[in-house]
Structure 1
Amino acid sequence: MGSSSDPNSTEVGTGRRDLIKRSAALGLISVPTMSFLSACASGGGDDSSDGETEGKTSEKNPFGVKDGSKLDVVVFKGGYGDDYAKAWEASFEKKWGVTSTHTGTQEITGKLQPRFNAGNPPDIVDDSGAQQIPIDVLNKNGQLLDLAAVLDAPSIDDPSKKVRDTLIPGTLDAGMQGGKVVALNYIYTVWGLWYSGKLFQEKGWEAPQTWDDFLAICKDAKSQGIGGLAHQGKYPYYINVAIMDLIAKTGGLDAMKAIDNLAPDAFVGSEAATAAVEAIYEVVEKGYLMPGTNGLTHTESQTRWNQYKAAFITSGSWLENEQLKTTPEDFDMKFLPMPLLPDSKLPFEAIRAGSGEPFIIPAKAKNLPAAKEFMRMMLSKEWSTLFAKEANSLTILADGVDSSVQLRPGTQSTVEASKAAGDNTFRYLYTEWYSEMGTAIENASNELMAKRIQPKEWLKRAQAAVNKQAEDPESKKNRRD
């Protein structure tokens, strides 16, 4: 997610064309943009550090990084691996004389929850994946640093600008809790359907723009012994990519905002939600799912898709890097915006796009000066380019990738899709704001895909999750206009 390779990862607004400026450096696109909710941050959090980690502050060392101190870094080792973080840590040590303890793992909760509970958390964490510690839970417990100081610090590349002013507009929104940015969603992510250009060429299929055309390909695939749609059954986050994209594209931004704003008719009574979930259930009913996909992990399902056992799969743009070892050289991975249901309010080109892979600094980190400087350097062109080279993905830094970086086919197709989308981008925020609600909706989707419930019951369960969340007074702090 998030992603990462599993639900972590883990979406807003009608862009105003600031989409992927850094891609212009690659010579791939002329720059469109997007605009999300205005990002805001306040306060400074608990900045207590002991003398062992406090150095002298200066213009070039705004947080007072101390030479010879140590930094504890934990990174989710999922779709993007962790080689990029090792490259960052080597660069950080070279510049500041700070050595890093590096942990790359998928067991974020298992390894870190005891440390948070004991008041001994790492200094900086990529809190992603299926075992992510929910950001909203950490924030409610007062365990996250308000990142305002980092975002308001001078940019390394242009000290006349604040760090926040060098980022793609709206990409801070996903890390906001109660008006403060407490997580830095670092990777620019696109969500949707994926297919093999090679398989489609061999079968004479054209990338579908309507749901009827999508179903026609699924039907033809089934007749040839190929699954129509694969999904990562053990992680229903992924099939919700399809369901939620269909809701937003069918009902427009108002349908999306109704879910984020916990409306009493977000699901039950919503024509868009009803049409979307019925469309997905038709795939199940007609037997167009790849056999066995409901019982597979993300990588198992994706690997079978790489073996041409399914025409389509749902995922975010971490997919290509995650599947490097199993993707045939001539597979020609391609991204596809969600096809349209009849009378959709958004065009086919509209995509869910925004920031994913949340990095956090615990409030009780032992080396806060180094942690904050590390995050500031993450938002430099040098480190953004290091990430692109190692993880084959783009970051939230505008103009953040050196022209020497060449992207793989799948990632390049997301750049092209982003250009085509222009203003027509959207992103849900309930996945970050309300983890319990998100899990409840995923559980309902798991039951739906296994044919244990039907669309009407799915809508009822999803609405119940919304209604329950709306009872929490804290929910009133989050609102989309």
Structure 2
Amino acid sequence: MTHPGEISRRQLIRRIGMTAFVAGPGAGLLSACATAGTGGEPAAAPSASIPVSADPKNPFGVDAKTPLEVVIFSGGYGDAYAKELHEELYKKAFPGVTIKHTATQQIGTQLRPRFVAGDAPDVLNNSGPESLDLAALAAEGHLADLAPLFDAPSIDDPAKKVRDTLTPAVVDNAKINGRDLVLNYTVSHRSLWYNAKLFQSKGWSLPTTWAEFTALGEEARREGILLFAYPGQKGPYYQLWNVLYTAAKIGGNQAIIDVDNLVDNAWNSEAMRQAITAWVEIQTKYGNKAYFGLDHTQTQIKQLQNEVLFYPTGSWVENEMAKDKPDNFEYAIAPIPDVTAADAMPYGAIQVGVGENFVVGAKGKNPQGGLAYLRLMLSKEGARGFTEKTQNLTVVNGAAEGVNLPAGLMSAARAQDKAGQNIITEARFEGWYKELFDYGSEQINVVMAGRITPEKFLANMQKKADDVKKDDAVTKQTRSQ
């Protein structure tokens, strides 16, 4: 399912070229896609890295006499944020500069021939159904190295590097074959969601420990409210995500990284065991098996009717249910409570996913200007303006302060700012190994319904992961963080 405002992991992987391809001699990126990781991803062709100077106002040595070309995918976000905001910031930084602005929904049709001809735009918002294969572009040296951007001084605080002002997922997901080549600009948040107005009316506080979580379950049950529910139909993977993120909360992000990398016995780790056991106990004590027959919309309606306290989903839910949301319901995000006293990640850690990618053309006429443009996008002014125009959060920490956002989105922004560097990583096997993810989405219902034990669930998942690992027909991929 694709949710409003969210770039799914599967979409993101396709966009950076992690799909098999056959390209004839001389075909280049006209017909090429690419495989990734250990399965034969084409090495990103080296391109000269633009040095960072000591001048915090112009670290890339931009010449204002050199025009800048910007191409924006005019989809759900439109292109006003670029034309009326980011490009104006660039003109202010480099007076007299000329900017060519193009908005299109035909990224591939319009841009592929230009890249082949060595006539790339300086900034490209590579999005939409015709988005270009970035791994193929990287393999042919068409993408500029973004490491200088991440290492440049921040516009808002030159004492900080740009990378230190962003959610960590940005740099984690910037890489193609180990090099920083892609900037993902927007974020979504997956965690537990609840009705802040209900909590206020009841005088309830968010539980920070598992003991407080179960105590609230007892109190809610006395009032006829379920502590927790997830959709058993068309959304059981919401709970699979929830278990994975809980495992990362307990054992650190390595628990998810090992699952993604098909590490031996990754599913049998202690963190995974504690996570699935804790959630099965919650379902057994405070859940309702009737929800296994409901889809995501039906379950979300139940929450809007205050029949469910906590629901595991992403920040798209507020927009998804906007037409059905009553006045007495206010979406807010709740971090996963501490499961043990020794959780690797503190209370307040949340999952943040990134998407909507931008690249700089290494063979464009002004790659220095392209890096400067992205740096302006990553200023608080540039990011705040984007949020105001699109009602979507960016990867820049603190940039949404003072913006009039929907309640749920504001809650997510505050939670992200509070989490700081304590961000739970995304599980990437959803896109890398669809067979494994789909199997997990089936098995999560089986274990949550009590038809198998948590130990059997983990054993089943490990066997399936082992089968995928042994299957030479499946392209293997790896991640380091």
> Do the two structures share a fold, i.e. TM-score over 0.5?
yes
Give the TM-score, by structure 1 length.
Answer: 0.65
CA contact (8 A) 2:4 2:319 kept: no
Between stretches 357-366 and 215-224, larger displacement belongs to: 357-366
Residues 326 and 119 of structure 1: is their aligned pair in 2 closer, same or farther, counting only changes over 3 Å?
A: farther
CA contact (8 A) 1:6 1:235 kept: no
Q: 1:457 to 1:163 in 2, by over 3 A?
A: same
> Closer, same or farther in 2 for the Cα pair 1:335/1:194, shift >3 Å?
same
Match of 1:478 in 2: 479
**Structure 1 stretches lacking a partner, 5+ long:** 11-40, 46-56, 104-110
Tell me the amino acid that sits aligned with residue 315 of structure 1.
Answer: T
Q: Relative contact order: is structure 1 or structure 2 higher (C-alpha 8 Å, sep ≥ 6)?
A: 1
CA deviation string 1:197-247 (max 9, x = no partner): 222244454422333543454465556554432435524442233201221
Does the residue aligned with 1:209 lie in a helix, a strand or coil? coil
Amino acid at match of 1:448: I
- Alignment-derived partner of residue 145 in structure 2: 148
Alpha-carbon distance change, 458 to 336 in structure 1, aligned in 2, over 3 angstroms: same
Deviation of the 1:389 alpha carbon: 1.5
**8 Å Cα contact 1:199/1:331 also seen in 2:** yes
Confirm or deny that 1:352 pairs with 2:361.
no
User: What is the alpha-carbon distance in structure 2 between the residues aligned to residue 132 and residue 101 of structure 1?
Assistant: 13
TM-score (norm 2): 0.65
Q: What are the Cα deviations for residues 269-318 of structure 1, in whole angstroms up to 9, with x where unaligned?
A: x2221221233233444571584466424x55445423323211113345
The answer as to whether partners of 1:188 and 1:396 remain within 8 angstroms in 2 is yes
Alignment partners' CA distance in 2, 1:362 and 1:469 = 35
**What is the match of residue 32 of structure 1?**
none
8 Å Cα contact 1:71-1:100 kept in structure 2? yes
C-alpha displacement at 1:196, in angstroms? 0.9
Equivalent-residue separation in structure 2 for 1:394 and 1:217 (angstroms) = 31
Q: Alignment partner for residue 139 of structure 1, among 127, 135, 138?
A: 135
How many percent identity over aligned positions? 21
Maintained 8 Å contact 2:86/2:373: yes
Residue equivalent to 1:86: 80
Residue 244 (structure 2) pairs with residue 244 (structure 1): yes
**Residue 139 and residue 436 in structure 1: after superposition, are their counterparts in 2 closer, same or farther (change >3 A)?**
same
User: Aligned residue for 1:427?
Assistant: 424
CA gap 1:398/1:418 in 2 versus in 1, 3 angstroms: closer
Query: How many correspondences in the alignment?
Result: 415
TM-superposed deviation, 1:410: 3.3
- Aligned partner of residue 148 in structure 1, secondary structure: coil
3-state DSSP class of the match of 2:437? helix
Task: Name the CA distance, whole Å, in 2 between partners of 1:117 and 1:295.
Answer: 44
Unaligned runs of 5+ in 2: 12-43, 49-59, 92-97
Alignment of 1:387 with 2:386, yes or no, is yes
In the alignment, is the contact (CA less than 8 A) between 2:397 and 2:416 conserved in 1? no
Q: 1:43 aligns with which of 13, 22, 46?
A: 46
Matched, 1:437 2:438: no
Partner of 2:276: 277
Structure 1 contact 172–355 (Cα < 8 Å) conserved:
no
Whether the 8 Å CA contact 2:156–2:380 is kept in 1: the answer is no
Letter in 1 for 2:249: K
Equivalent residues in 2 for 1:71-82 (5 A)? Answer: 71=71, 73=73, 75=75, 77=76, 82=77
Distance 1:102 1:329, change over 3 A: farther
CA 1:340–1:442: 2 relative to 1, 3 Å: farther
Q: Equivalences for 1:262-273 in 2 at 5 Å? A: 262-268=262-268, 270-273=269-272
Asked if 2 retains the 8 angstrom alpha-carbon contact of 1:355 and 1:396, the reply is: no
The residue aligned with 1:331 is 329
Partner of 1:211: 210
> Which residue is 2:18 aligned to?
none
* Structure 1 counterpart of 2:480, one-letter code: R
Q: Following the alignment from structure 1 to structure 2, what is the Cα–Cα distance between the partners of residues 438 and 391?
A: 31
Q: Retained in 1: the 8 A contact 2:194–2:332?
A: yes
CA–CA distance in structure 1, aligned partners of residues 374 and 136 of structure 2: 22
SS at 1:186's partner residue?
Answer: strand
